[in-house]
């Protein structure tokens, strides 16, 4: 299928096109053998030879990126004008194409069936129903209080220590649990001091684990507590070395709940990279932080849908213990759709 064609005079892809040429963008569903036009064959071979491998690789990556953007672009041309503001809003929120089309098709189908247009409120209600059903099978909600160890994983800069303090404070103040902390973040003095400050305010003990023996000793010292919160090191977990270090340090066979903390201000692809690094860990739910610092929270839903992992909490500020919300589907969807009334 020909998508577009242009007469161009600038150098094109891989240096194939010199002077005045025709650029054609086409797509196909099945693998196909595309014959090479005779009039550019000689230019092509000469142009490729003049480039080094790195230049060719960079140009190929750029072309892949542009094609991916084209594939991800959602077309609303088949939907009535009354529906486009909501769909555009969801697109701006970063919600995946598949989920947006599910919402659009359901609303449009009901409009045709009822032979009338729907108000924004009616559209939002249908959107809530469609998306609620999509995530109904995933687990939501905070710590269960049925396991002794609460392990919080995640890369640097996502707010793990502050998030742990919020959860621990609520366990102490609202549920009257005896709590303690173990930190394995021995790479940053500031992180240890930050946790100690929170622990002092909560009158809870803190142990530092530099290695697996320290970790076992800390567990023994805290054996009489109800809950032990483990603050893991914030590292660049795109590198498998740090993932392996974490496996050697913490005994994941313990009676433990593990949560993966991700900042919603991060790029979705970067969050996917982190999640993929932790697939061998017993991650039960996500914790999303910095919701108040972004206007696009659709990636939270994309990640839950792709990895079949629910959400325990999301945070919307720095105040401890106030700025944390125990997640459920309705709360998260209302957060997603909050601005749609004014779209």
Name residues of the chain where pLDDT drops below 70.
1-22, 25, 27-55, 57-58, 61-62, 64-75, 187-188, 234-239, 241, 343
- The reported pLDDT for the residue numbered 70 is 52
Q: Coil, strand, or helix at residue 10? A: coil
- The reported pLDDT for the residue numbered 10 is 52
Using CA atoms, how far apart are residues 241 and 329, in angstroms rounded to an integer? Answer: 35
- The reported pLDDT for the residue numbered 33 is 42
Residue in the structure block whose two tokens are 């000793």: 217
Identify whether the C-beta of residue 79 lies closer than 8 Å to the C-beta of residue 87: yes
Using CA atoms, how far apart are residues 89 and 155, in angstroms rounded to an integer? Answer: 30
Identify whether the C-beta of residue 312 lies closer than 8 Å to the C-beta of residue 145: no
Q: Coil, strand, or helix at residue 291? A: helix
Q: Coil, strand, or helix at residue 314? A: strand
Using CA atoms, how far apart are residues 52 and 50, in angstroms rounded to an integer? Answer: 7
- The reported pLDDT for the residue numbered 194 is 87
- The reported pLDDT for the residue numbered 179 is 97
Domain ranges of the chain: 2-72, 84-134, 149-327
The C-alpha angle with vertex 71 and arms to 68 and 75, in degrees rounded to 5, equals 145
Residue in the structure block whose two tokens are 């621990």: 168
Using CA atoms, how far apart are residues 263 and 225, in angstroms rounded to an integer? Answer: 30
Beta bridge partners of 229: 150, 181
> Please, what's the b/e burial string for 332-343 (b: 16 or more CB within 10 A of its CB; e: otherwise)?
bbebbbeebeee
Q: Which of the four CATH numbers 3.40.50.300, 3.30.390.50, 1.25.40.390, 3.20.20.70 does domain 149-327 have?
A: 3.40.50.300
CA distances from 167 to 175, 191, 324, 328 (A): 11, 17, 8, 16
94 token code pair: 């970063």
> Please, what's the b/e burial string for 73-93 (b: 16 or more CB within 10 A of its CB; e: otherwise)?
eeebeebeeebeebbebbbeb
Using CA atoms, how far apart are residues 232 and 153, in angstroms rounded to an integer? Answer: 6
Helix axis angle for 189-202 and 160-175, nearest 10°, is: 10
- The reported pLDDT for the residue numbered 117 is 84
- The reported pLDDT for the residue numbered 335 is 94
- The reported pLDDT for the residue numbered 14 is 42
Give φ, ψ of 11 to 5 degrees.
-65, 135
- The reported pLDDT for the residue numbered 280 is 83
Report field, pTM of the whole predicted structure over 0.85? no
H-assigned helices in the chain: 38-49, 53-72, 84-92, 97-114, 120-134, 160-175, 189-202, 212-221, 240-249, 268-277, 298-307, 329-337
């Amino acid at each position: 299928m020909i998508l577009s064609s242009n007469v161009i005079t600038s150098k094109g892809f891989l240096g194939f096109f010199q002077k005045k040429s025709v650029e054609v963008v086409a797509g196909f569903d099945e693998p196909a053998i595309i014959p090479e036009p005779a009039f550019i064959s000689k230019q092509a071979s000469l142009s490729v030879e003049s480039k080094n491998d790195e230049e060719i690789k960079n140009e190929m990556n750029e072309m892949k990126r542009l094609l991916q953007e084209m594939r991800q672009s959602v077309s609303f041309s088949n939907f009535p004008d009354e529906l486009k503001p909501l769909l555009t809003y969801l697109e701006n929120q970063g919600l995946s194409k598949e989920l947006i089309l599910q919402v659009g098709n359901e609303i449009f189908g009901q409009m045709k069936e009822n032979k009338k247009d729907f108000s924004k409120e009616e559209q939002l209600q249908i959107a809530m129903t469609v998306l609620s059903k999509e995530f109904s099978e995933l687990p939501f909600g905070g710590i269960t209080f049925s396991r002794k160890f609460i392990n919080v994983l995640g890369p640097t800069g996502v707010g793990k220590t502050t998030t742990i303090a919020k959860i621990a404070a609520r366990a102490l103040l609202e549920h009257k649990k005896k709590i303690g902390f173990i930190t394995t973040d021995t790479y940053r003095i500031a992180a240890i001091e930050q946790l100690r400050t929170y622990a002092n305010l909560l009158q809870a003990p803190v142990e530092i684990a530099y290695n697996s023996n320290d970790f076992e000793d800390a567990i023994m010292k805290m054996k009489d507590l109800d809950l032990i919160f483990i603050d893991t090191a914030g590292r660049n977990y795109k590198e498998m070395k740090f993932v392996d270090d974490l496996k050697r340090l913490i005994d994941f066979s313990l009676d433990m709940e593990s949560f993966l903390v991700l900042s919603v201000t991060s790029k979705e692809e970067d969050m996917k990279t982190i999640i993929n690094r932790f697939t061998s860990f017993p991650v039960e739910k996500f914790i999303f932080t910095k919701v108040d610092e972004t206007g696009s929270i659709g990636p939270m839903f994309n990640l839950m849908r792709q990895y079949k992992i629910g959400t325990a909490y999301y945070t919307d500020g720095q105040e401890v213990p106030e700025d944390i919300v125990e997640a459920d589907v309705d709360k998260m969807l209302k957060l997603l759709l909050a601005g749609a009334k004014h779209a």
